[in-house]
Structure 1
Amino acid sequence: MKPNIGISEQNLEGVIKILSTLLADEYVLYTKARNYHWNVIGMQFNDLHKFFQTLYEELNEYVDDVAERIRTLGGNAIGTLKEFLEATRLKEHPGEYPDAKTMLSNLLNDYETIIRNLRNDIVTVSEKYQDLGTADFLTELMEKHEKTAWMLRAFLS
């Protein structure tokens, strides 16, 4: 049954497409943080191992929240690795096990990429698709990512 929430079916489809891409980005970032948690080495091992765990636990919640927003709007959430890799705007680095500083830098780049994309998506969702609920949802998520990006920059300074 399609939702009857004051947003046209065509607009809902546009919002769901944006959210599906975001879902893929969040899942790829989750996977990267998990990978770095497993593979970090060096003098800051303990701190970074815990920090990366905090990141992937937060990202796991974000993945679930985005998927549930898609379902709320009547869409189906993508959920396979193939779909995530086809839809993501982030870059993976298979077979690479960088040093801790590069791990932090890679994560910062990905968080900032998501933030920039969210900033554009918020405008599109609110102005083009007239979905203020999703715009609010994306704004809150962007603010969370901005805080994490600040922490990553602090680690790198």
Structure 2
Amino acid sequence: MSTQKTVRQSADSVEENKLRLEQEKAEQIVDALNTELANSYVLYHQLKKHHWVVEGAEFLPLHEFLEEAYEHVEEGADEIAERAQALGGVPVSGPANQEERATVEFEGEDVYDVRTMFENDLEMYGDIIESMRDSIELAENLGDHATAEILREILVTLEEDGHHFEHYLEDDTLVLEEATH
């Protein structure tokens, strides 16, 4: 571990940025981005957990779907973090800080049936989608069209994946349950 003790920028600070977005506006947007980043990582960890523990007749396609979903979330989180940094902020990065900062809650360590896990995921997607829309509106209102566009692209993917969870939760299925005697 490095012995360097010089802090170059405090975690909750926003420095002047080279993108010429006023300091006060940048602070508000970085704050919103850090909330979105924290929410993304709570969702990421929940999806990753579900990827690890999913079982049943549809194991493989669900396992692969969850992997794709958490990869999408991680890609979006990376874009959010890089944008916060570009605006002069420090992306929230520690697990404890992310959990504290998030407006969504991890379901916990217990393992649930697939339907319950997916219902929990869909609920979190909905909460994050609403929060993301608010952050897009904030960025637009403050004249930061690039951040709004970045978040819009992430939102499209979130909505698509959320919609796939909705499909998985439908009652119709081709999988037959074994008759119990």
TM-score by length of 2: 0.82
Question: Are 2:50 and 1:36 equivalent residues in the alignment?
Answer: yes
Give the residue type in structure 1 aligned to 2:147. T
Q: Where do 4+ consecutive residues of structure 1 move more than 4 Å?
A: none
Deviations 1:32-71 (A, max 9, x none): 0100011111221111111111111111211111111111
Match of 2:159 in 1: 146
Count of residues paired in the alignment: 156
Partners of 1:99 and 1:148 in 2: CA distance: 20
Match of 2:16 in 1: 2
Higher mean C-alpha deviation, range 39-48 or range 8-17: 39-48
Is the radius of gyration larger for structure 1 or structure 2? 2
Equivalent residue in structure 2 for 1:112, among 90, 105, 126: 126
Partners of 2:160 and 2:41 in 1: CA distance: 19
Partners of 1:63 and 1:121 in 2: CA distance: 14
C-alpha contact 2:79 2:150 (8 A) present in aligned 1:
no
More helix by share: 1
Give the residue type in structure 2 aligned to 1:54. E
Partners of 1:57 and 1:139 in 2: CA distance: 18
TM-score by length of 1: 0.94
Equivalent residue in structure 2 for 1:94, among 91, 105, 108: 108
- What root-mean-square deviation, in Å, do the aligned CA atoms of Structure 1 and Structure 2 show? 1.2
Question: Are 2:93 and 1:79 equivalent residues in the alignment?
Answer: yes
Match of 1:11 in 2: 25
Give the residue type in structure 2 aligned to 1:18. A
Match of 1:63 in 2: 77
Sequence identity percentage? 29
Higher mean C-alpha deviation, range 15-24 or range 42-51: 42-51
CA deviation after TM superposition for structure 1 residue 95, in Å = 2.8
Give the residue type in structure 2 aligned to 1:7. L
In structure 1, the gaps of 5 or more residues are none
Question: Are 2:169 and 1:156 equivalent residues in the alignment?
Answer: yes
Deviations 1:107-149 (A, max 9, x none): 111111111111111111111x221111111111111111111
